[in-house]
Structure 1
Amino acid sequence: MSLAILTCRAQLGVAAPSVTIEVFLSGGLPTFAIVGLAETAVRESKDRVRGAIMSSNFKFPQQRITVNLGPADMRKSGGRYDLGIALGILVASGQVPGELLSLSEFYGELSLSGDLRPVPGILPAAIQASKCDRSMIVAEENAGEAALSSTRVYAAGSLLEVTAHLAGKQKLRQAEFVENPQSDVGVEDLRDVRGQAQARRALEIAAAGGHNILLSGPPGAGKSMLARRLPGILPPLNYDEAIETAAVNSVLGIPFDSSRWRQRSFRAPHHTASAAALVGGGSDPRPGEISRAHNGVLFLDELPEFSRHVLNVLREPLETGEITISRVERQADFPARFQLVGAMNPCPCGYLGDPKSDCTCSAERVKAYRAKISGPLLDRIDIQLSMQRPAKECLRADAPPGEATSVVARRVLAVRNVQMLRSGVCNAELDGDRMEACCILSGSAWELLDQAMDRFVMSARAHRRVRRVARTIADLAGEKNISADHIGEALGLRGLNP
């Protein structure tokens, strides 16, 4: 009787709980059984492992082989356990020494030829392996991603290379993360936007404070154009934010790109997207668009065209910055702290309030169109701006361009640095004592805000959000306290509120 014990990790949301792989060889009729709540892809590993061992010129034991994946009450899925199972069989049968097994974690799907294939979700596993002070042996394609968080990552191309490493014959290459210069390919420049001074100002305020923004205007006013230029003026991700974002992409199996990993994501799902597509779902929960936009921008164009039910699922993530997906057999948590940018027409035909075009919509149609966006969702959007078409003089070839993205981005970065030093979070996330300490209003500012509360019947949430926006406006002006002018501008930026 022989026993080999190895360590791997499962994938559960962006968590990576430990899984112990126990391989036991005993006498009896030759059988190969995998126990421990293994799903189909794991059970099918029996054939992959047998083929890989024999293709690597090892002997497949003609004994009773039992593989236990513990804990037994946690579902195991995917091909990530193939390498660990194969090594366990080789160690238990005495063909490979097992002294180094307890120091490492093993990840990789095996081909029938013995080659090692990459698996999704390697970064969350690397984060936990680093905390446990274990090295990792992974496929070549996973090595760069795993090296983001773990300093001892070894890249292997095949089962044969891993066995040579364990036997001390030939060491595997130790992967190192080298951060390439960040690429700005695909970043659109704000100078392309002609006119729209108020909208550009609103976009800068939204970027500086991390505020949600809704743009309303006729077709061709530049709403989508402005929204797509927001990521370019946002500060680059810091290391912790970049790791969080990369972990979500890792779970989805998106290839890691070291030249773009500090760029903020920009997600723009179509208005036909379902609630599950937006927040995530499935029997094996996977992240949706709001998690893919974590630490970045979620752009919802033609906002009223989305299902009302779909829009309402955004309400909790907008407040908490995370989403919990619960199914009968499992539950997964995903990060979802995104900046919401919405764009819409003022009515179904798009020309309500346009001085140069007549609106053909009845009052009932306009009311039904706007009712698709619930009051509680609007309440969570800090900046709600009505736009008009740019003047024709701004569109001439000889008209002066607006400020470039690089210029605005420097101002935004300077203001964000002030916020981080002051409270450790951007202004949109201020709450409790931090908000009271940072959002100090003058007497006249309080009076103006009190009048607005009575006139517009603002909720307590809207009251806090106006103060946060005013704090950002004061920061852009270099002011320590919030004045009535700052409150006035913040109120003006909620022009769509009832």
Structure 2
Amino acid sequence: MLVKVYGSAVFGIEATTITIEVNIDKGIGYHLVGLPDKAVSESSYRISAALNNNAYKLPGKKIIINMAPADIRKEGASYDLSLAMGILAASNQIKSETINEYIIMGELSLDGSLQPIRGVLPMAIKAREEGFKYFILPKENAKEAAIVDNLTVLGVENILEVINHFNGDKKIEPTIVDTRAEFYKNIDFPEFDFSDVKGQESIKRCMEIAAAGGHNIILIGPPGSGKTMLAKRLPSILPPMTLHEALETTKIHSVVGKTKNNGLLYQRPFRSPHHTISNVALVGGGQYPRPGEISLSHNGVLFLDELPEFKREVLEVMRQPLEDRDVTISRAKFTVTYPCSFMLVASMNPSPSGFFNDPNSPMTSSPQEMQRYLSKISGPLLDRIDIHIEVTPVPFEKLSEERKGESSVAIRKRVTASREIQSARFEEFENVHYNAQMTVKQIRKFCKLSPESLSLLKTAMEKLNLSARAYDRILKVSRTIADLADVTDISPDHIAEAIQYRSLDRDGWLG
């Protein structure tokens, strides 16, 4: 008897429906075809043990299973449940009249219990698009799949529950999640708050500007000055994610199995990889490509602490993704593209000792040592960082103050209002949503300067020996400062403030 059961495979962050054709005929043997990998090929042992331990059996006949389309490689143990149900249906051990309405996925243990799988959200979205009514999967993944509406999600703990469901003995209760209610209930509770930060008012202002315009930022200062503390609180002042952004971000985390039973991601991601990271782990890839840290930071923040300690080649692979906001990984037989629209926040000490030019510290570094240290970061990478700011240690008087600083909620309101202005400005442009994404043509259109502002910028470029690359960056940042002030025209004050945020471009910064 021939039966068709449906599963799903994930490539990039999109799913493809897999048709599992099971034919049982006279003879003996188990033949699995359709480009399965080692884990899929080993499924017969898990299926046989799981069925035996639940009073069912693998039929002693010739079993031929084809996983179509046959030119797509099938990976992992997540097809165990779909293969098992196909075998049971083809051998008439379960009723299979409606089995074509289901997507079935799950990894079997030898006792028949189910292990969680990866990539559930893309699978659920694809199932709904292709008109499937039901999705059977491990219970731990059910909440994530239930994000998708117009699809009945059935979470199970054991293969016996699925068998009883098809035989009509006991129906599986569907998992129901009110996605919108859950989403809007959880978006306003950041883990870290700017009110915890003592002093550093100028740096907070700088972080607010970066968040409002989506600008990449680098913090330069001695150890203990608060760089990491400030960076960790940046997501708390970014505008709340839209439902579309949350779904897109959850899809990426689902592919690498980082959602588990959490369902939808409500907060913007904050990723902080160690400086020993490889370039594949950062941008994604591998023999069977997976998203890297830059894609896991999509719609959030990527924090690179101690930037000069990262390998130069690792930092250089970020140049193209920072510009294009997606990364394409090519292999001989396929190509996958992962989105990676993130804010880069980097921090570094000003010298190997960490205390360059600090008269109060016994540890000093020469200008030559500092130059070598900074040369680990290439000019093209710095070119993609809009804001450079020096962070100074907080004095004792500020640290011992009882008064709390301004909360993240208050700062976020201003940032969100600024982003709304930018969204309206760039409404006609498909891939531009905030100031940091502006092209040269858009800078010329939306960053027009008065004669006074132009004169100030010209003087600054000449007196401070600012590089040519600083010109467009200053205009972008000044546009954001103007948006925060809710004014249409860029004034000399906005230009003057933006000029302060180009420390590494300033000639003589080394002392």
Q: Which residue of 2 is the match for residue 226 of structure 1?
A: 230
Secondary structure, aligned partner of 2:504: coil
Match in the other structure for 1:458: 468
TM-score w.r.t. length of structure 2: 0.90
Count of matched residue pairs: 493
Match of 1:80 in 2: 78
Q: Aligned match of 1:439 in 447, 457, 460?
A: 447
Match 2:383 to one of 372, 379, 388: 379
SS in 1 for 2:15: coil
User: Cα deviations across residues 81-127 of structure 1 (Å, max 9, x unaligned)?
Assistant: 11111111122122223222222211111222222322111111111
2:498 is equivalent to residue 494 of structure 1? no
Cα distance in 2, alignment partners of residues 44 and 358 from structure 1: 63
- List per-residue Cα deviations over 1:321-361 (Å, max 9, x = no partner): 12223345554322211111111111111222324336632
Alpha carbons of structure 1 residues 150 and 284: separation in structure 2 relative to 1, 3 Å: farther
Q: Give the equivalent residue in structure 2 for 1:314.
A: 318
Tell me if 1:415 matches 2:423: no
SS of residue paired to 2:136:
strand
Residue from 188, 198, 202 that aligns with 2:202 = 198
Rate the CA distance shift 1:389–1:19 in 2: closer, same or farther, 3 A. same
Query: What is the correspondence of 1:65-76 to structure 2 with a 5 Å cutoff?
Result: 65-76=63-74
Cα distance change of structure 1 residues 6 and 260 upon mapping to structure 2, 3 Å threshold: closer
Q: Pick the aligned partner of 2:116 from 118, 122, 126.
A: 118
Alpha-carbon offset, residue 436 of structure 1: 5.2
In the TM superposition, residue 279 of structure 1 has moved relative to its aligned partner by 1.6
SS in 2 for 1:67: strand
Q: Which moved more, 1:369-378 or 1:166-175?
A: 166-175
Counterpart of 2:430 in structure 1 is none
Q: CA offsets, 1:226-259, max 9 Å, x none? A: 1111111112211111112111221121234648
**Structure 1: distance between partners of 2:250 and 2:269:** 10
Alignment of structure 1 residues 122-161 onto 2, 5 Å:
122-134=120-132, 135-152=134-151, 153-161=153-161
Q: TM-score, normalised by structure 1?
A: 0.92
Query: CA-atom RMSD, angstroms?
Result: 2.3
Shift of 1:205: 0.4
Which deviates more from structure 2 when the two are superposed, residues 283-292 or residues 448-457?
448-457
% identity of equivalent residues: 45
Which amino acid is 1:103 matched to?
E
List gaps (5 residues or longer) in structure 1.
Answer: none
Match of 1:48 in 2: 46
Shift in CA distance, 356/287, structure 1 to aligned 2, threshold 3 Å: same
Between stretches 446-455 and 43-52, larger displacement belongs to: 446-455
SS in 2 for 1:175: coil
Distance in 2, Cα, partners of 1:433 & 1:3: 61
Partner Cα separation in structure 2 for residue 433 and residue 361 of structure 1: 43
1:166 is matched with 166
SS in 2 for 1:188: coil
After superposition, give the CA deviation of every residue in 1:38-85 in whole Å (9 maximum; x if it has no partner).
111101101111222333333422211111112222111111111111
Instruction: Identify which of 398, 401, 405 aligns with 1:402.
Output: 405
Query: CA distance change for structure 1 residues 110 and 139 in 2, over 3 Å: closer, same or farther?
Result: same
Read off the aligned partner of 1:210 and give its amino acid letter: G
| Aligned twin of 2:256 | 252
Alignment of 1:268-347 (within 5 A): 268-328=272-332, 330-347=334-351
Are the counterparts in 2 of residues 96 and 163 from structure 1 also a CA contact under 8 Å? yes
Which letter maps to 1:429?
Answer: Q
Amino acid aligned to 2:405:
G
Point out the more displaced range, 438-447 or 91-100.
438-447
Answer yes or no: is the 8 Å Cα contact 2:422–2:434 preserved in 1. Answer: yes
Quick one: distance in 2 between partners of 1:235 and 1:103? 40
Cα 1:436–1:93 change in 2 (3 A) is farther
Amino acid at match of 2:487: E
